[in-house]
Amino acid sequence: MDTNNVQSHQKRSFFGPEKFPLFLFIGFAALIGILLLPTPEGLSPAGHRMLAILVFAIIVWVSEAVSYEASSIIIMGLIIFLVGLSPSLKDPTVEWGVKSALTMALAGFSSSGLALVAAALFIAACMTYTGLDKRIALNTMNLVGTSTKSIFFGMILVTIILSLVVPSATARAAAMIPIAMGMVAAFGVENKSKLAVGLMILVAECISIWNVGIQTAAAQNLITVGFMTELLGERVAWIDWLIAALPWSIIMSFVLYFVVLTFFRPEVKKLEGGKQSVRKQLDEIGPMTSDQLRLLIVSTILIGFWATEGKLHNYSTAATTIVALGVLLIPKIGVINWKEMQKRTPWGTLIVFGTGISLGSSILKSGAGEWLGNQIVVWTGLDTLGPLMIFAILAAFLIIIHLGFASATALSSSMIPIVISILKTMPDGSVDRLGMTMILGFVISYGFILPVNAPQNMVCLGTDTFNAKQFAKVGITITIIGYLLMVLFAGTYWDWLGHLK
What is the rounded distance in angstroms from the CA atom of residue 114 to the CA atom of residue 121? 11
Tell me 316's DSSP state: -
- 147/338: higher pLDDT: 338
Measured in residues, the chain has a length of 501
Mean pLDDT of the chain: 86
Check pLDDT > 70 for residue 271. Answer: no
pLDDT-based confidence at residue 20 (cuts at 50, 70, 90) = low
Task: Please say whether the beta carbons of 256 and 156 come within 8 A.
Answer: yes
* 319-354: pLDDT as tens digits: 899 999 999 999 988 999 999 999 888 888 788 878
So what's the pLDDT on residue 145? 66
Which residue type does 241 have?
W
* 199-228: pLDDT as tens digits: 999 999 999 999 999 999 988 998 899 888
- 377/145: higher pLDDT: 377
CA 68 to chain centre: 14
How far from 240 is each of 274, 423, 438, CA to CA, in Å?
39, 20, 10
Share of the chain above pLDDT 90, in %: 40
* 272-305: pLDDT as tens digits: 556 677 778 788 888 999 999 999 999 999 999 9
Tell me the three state secondary structure of residue 444: coil
What is the rounded distance in angstroms from the CA atom of residue 219 to the CA atom of residue 227? 12
The DSSP annotation for 34-85 comes to HHHSPPPTT--HHHHHHHHHHHHHHHHHHHTSS-HHHHHHHHHHHIIIIIHT
Of 114, 80, 86, 115, give the one whose Cα is nearest residue 98: 80
Check pLDDT > 60 for residue 175. Answer: yes
For the entire predicted model, the pTM comes to 0.80
Q: Which residue(s) pair with 147 in the sheet?
A: 270
Supply φ then ψ for residue 85, to 5 degrees: -95, 10
* 447-487: pLDDT as tens digits: 899 887 888 888 888 888 888 899 999 999 999 999 999 99
Check pLDDT > 60 for residue 15. Answer: no
What is the rounded distance in angstroms from the CA atom of residue 402 to the CA atom of residue 406? 8
So what's the pLDDT on residue 273? 57
Domain ranges of the chain: 17-109, 112-344
- Which residues, at least 6 apart from 448, have a Cβ–Cβ distance to it below 8 Å? 205, 208, 474, 475, 476, 478, 479, 482
Task: Please say whether the beta carbons of 128 and 178 come within 8 A.
Answer: no
